[in-house]
A and B are shown apart, each in its own frame.
Chain A
Amino acid sequence: MTQFEEGRFRQGLIQFIFDRTKESFSESDDLFASGLINSLFALDLIAYVEDQADIEVTSELLSSQNFRTIDSIVQMASLMARHGGERVRAGD
């Protein structure tokens, strides 16, 4: 993805989560409370976000509220993608 497109990223993310979990989450559902993040699937989700938004998800990013909901993931990715076209590191 040369340029980050928020709408496309959001749609892709929703589809990815549905494909892998067979569960429909609303964009404000707490993914942590669902147990989704604390499972084998979590690393795949992180890898997906890193790949699609061209960012590196560090512990710092993950510890905060960034991965709590689909909305917050999109917001984080969007913010980081705007910070620079290159792969940006959290906390830098």
Chain B
Amino acid sequence: MQATDKYSALQARFATSTLDNNHPRKALAILAEGPYLTPAAPRQFGGAGESYLELASLCEALGAVDTAARTIVTIQSAIAAAILRWGTDEQKRRYVPPLARGDLLGAIAFSEEGAGSDLSLVSSALNVERSTLSGQKTWVSMGVDADLALVLTRVEGGFSCWLVRLGPGVERIAKYSDGMSHCGLADLRFDPSVPTRHELLGPHGLALATVVQTTLDVGRLCIAAGSAGIVRTTLELGVERANDRAQGSSFLADHQITRQRIATIAVALETSEALVYRAAAAFAQADSDHRRLTWIAKYAAAAAADKSARDVADMFGASGISSESKITALRHDAWLMTLIEGAPSLSEDVIGQMTLGKMK
């Protein structure tokens, strides 16, 4: 699957864009020019009616050039998938087309300071009578710019997800991380004295088993594909460096150790892509094993991105530890890919559980 060929023109738009605080909005505008925001949504709801293989292919292409753009596609597609699966017909009509067009930029607000890997510890709440939210969500991608957030709260007897318009009653507190540094990361703090515009998405009290799973499944597939894209870019940078960098009369590529390093990254790229597209195919066929395969793909591709970025950074020496250098940004993004939607140790636990259940 050559993600780079079909999307090379789109990739070029991002390769040349300057990164600043307006980047999320600019990236959204570029993506909105084509059928890129929710490719897997049906045409009647503004999507491209493509399969999850196409979504993975797009995310790999974007992950290779711009993590913020890949993140936007991830969020729009994941929220659209959750609405299409669990929303009412009216919610599908009202929200999915604007998500597909980029008229609404989404954000996924599940995690809290005390509830990351284990979302059953979420404490944010919605006071239904007063229409107010309380609590604080953290590390929300696109939180600085988003118009609409999918918010997970505790309710009596369980958890519910709400589509919340980000306006009065929601304070955005920008956060900075070296990884995903142009993804508009923010905390969202809810003011319990100001009513918000919101509506329930999915079965009341059962969000953890329904809306949250659908959202995270799609998100995890996109992150896995984006990680494979990072591996591809590190390989390209590594090859370029190996051929360009000379010491005396010999190039880096003349050394066996360099060729070995390039070989391991080439193998990592092929295995990451194979796992990502296997998971995407399972998604497309509604294979009951798709969730386990997606966890496996994300775990392996993110680890491959992390290792490849570190290995290639070594080849750049001190110049690879500059905030200006491309490989440094990739290193930070790749590291973060290993942590989001399931850090390595958590991923191993989940994959182990699922595999034990499957093989019984």
A34 to B215, CA, bound (A): 24
Cβ contacts under 8 Å, B87 to chain A: 59
Cβ contacts under 8 Å, B203 to chain A: 59-60, 62-63
Beta-carbon nearest neighbor of B201 in chain A: A59
Cβ contacts under 8 Å, A59 to chain B: 86-88, 202-203, 210
A24 interfacial by beta-carbon distance below 8 Å: no
Q: Do A20 and B204 touch across chains, with their CB atoms under 8 A apart?
A: no
Q: Do A42 and B206 touch across chains, with their CB atoms under 8 A apart?
A: yes
In the complex with contacts A44-B288, A59-B88, A38-B204 CB distance below 8 A: no
Q: Do A43 and B209 touch across chains, with their CB atoms under 8 A apart?
A: yes
B266 interfacial by beta-carbon distance below 8 Å: no
Q: How many residues of A contact B (CB 8 A)?
A: 17
Contact mask for chain A residues 34-47; partner B; CB cutoff 8 A; 1 contact, 0 none: 00011110111011
A19 interfacial by beta-carbon distance below 8 Å: yes
Shortest C-beta distance, A56 to chain B (Å), equals 10
In the complex with contacts A59-B202, A63-B204, A38-B357 CB distance below 8 A: no
Q: Do A37 and B206 touch across chains, with their CB atoms under 8 A apart?
A: yes
Cβ contacts under 8 Å, B213 to chain A: 40, 42-43
Cβ contacts under 8 Å, B210 to chain A: 42-43, 46, 59, 62
Cβ contacts under 8 Å, A47 to chain B: 286, 288
Beta-carbon nearest neighbor of B91 in chain A: A59
Shortest C-beta distance, A51 to chain B (Å), equals 8
B168 interfacial by beta-carbon distance below 8 Å: no
Most buried by B among A20, A39, A43, A46: A43
Contact mask for chain B residues 36-69; partner A; CB cutoff 8 A; 1 contact, 0 none: 0000000000000000000000000000000000
Cβ contacts under 8 Å, B214 to chain A: 43
Beta-carbon nearest neighbor of B158 in chain A: A38
Cβ contacts under 8 Å, B255 to chain A: none
Q: Do B209 and A38 touch across chains, with their CB atoms under 8 A apart?
A: yes
Q: In the complex, which residues 246-270 of chain B have their Cβ closer than 8 Å to any Cβ of chain A?
A: none
B208 interfacial by beta-carbon distance below 8 Å: yes
Q: In the complex, which residues 145-180 of chain B have their Cβ closer than 8 Å to any Cβ of chain A?
A: 158
Cβ contacts under 8 Å, B209 to chain A: 37-40, 42-43
A62 to B202, CA, bound (A): 9
Cβ contacts under 8 Å, A44 to chain B: 288, 291
In the complex with contacts A20-B357, A59-B88, A38-B208 CB distance below 8 A: yes
30 residue pairs of the A-B complex, CB under 8 angstroms, read A37-B206, A37-B209, A38-B158, A38-B208, A38-B209, A39-B208, A39-B209, A40-B209, A40-B213, A40-B291, A40-B353, A42-B206, A42-B209, A42-B210, A42-B213, A43-B209, A44-B291, A47-B286, A47-B288, A59-B87, A59-B88, A59-B202, A59-B203, A59-B210, A60-B88, A62-B206, A62-B210, A63-B204, A63-B205, A63-B206
Given contacts A38-B158, A48-B288, A62-B206, 18 further A-B pairs with CB under 8 A are A19-B360, A37-B206, A38-B206, A40-B209, A40-B213, A42-B206, A42-B209, A42-B210, A43-B210, A43-B291, A44-B288, A44-B291, A46-B210, A58-B86, A63-B203, A63-B204, A63-B205, A63-B206
Which A residues fall within an 8 A CB radius of B? 19-20, 37-40, 42-44, 46-48, 58-60, 62-63
* Nearest 4 Cβ contacts at the A-B interface: A42-B209, A63-B203, A62-B203, A59-B203
